[in-house]
Amino acid sequence: MPHTIRERKPLLTRVRRIKGQLAALEVALKEGSDCSAVLQQIAAVRGAVSGLMNHVMEGHIRDHLLSPERTEAERAHDLEPLLAALRSYMR
């Protein structure tokens, strides 16, 4: 079973938490909140998104690259999206 299905519940919890943070940010902007609070809220969203990416990347590596059930061709195929995501962090 792919990890994004096995881990669906904790992953959805993370995504919904980030949606909640963004909803709060939307209210803050509508209400003209102090800019300092807006900066802090965006930094918190960024941290939560990094946590989500880290969670999915680790699952991808364990399930798609390490698992003995995967053929060499399958592993090579699954490597590319990981490298693309890594590059987006290492610019």
Which stretches of 1-91 are assigned E, i.e. beta strand?
A: none
Radius of gyration of the chain (CA): 17
Within a 10 A sphere around the Cβ of 74, how many other Cβ atoms?
Answer: 13
Of residues 46-65, those binding a copy of itself (CB under 8 A): 46-47, 49-54, 56-65
- Give yes or no for a contact between 55 and 7, defined as CB atoms under 8 angstroms apart: yes
Considering only residues 62 through 81, tell me which ones interact with a copy of itself, judged by CB under 8 A. Answer: 62-66, 68, 72, 75-76, 78-81
Closest CA to 1 of 67, 52, 83: 67
Beta strands in 24-89 (DSSP E): none
Minimum distance between the CB of residue 86 and a copy of itself, rounded to whole angstroms? 6
* Closest distance of CB 24 from a copy of itself, Å: 10
Which residues lie near a copy of itself (CB under 8 A)?
A: 2-5, 8, 11-12, 15-16, 18-19, 22-23, 25-26, 29-30, 32-36, 38-40, 42-43, 45-47, 49-54, 56-66, 68, 72, 75-76, 78-91
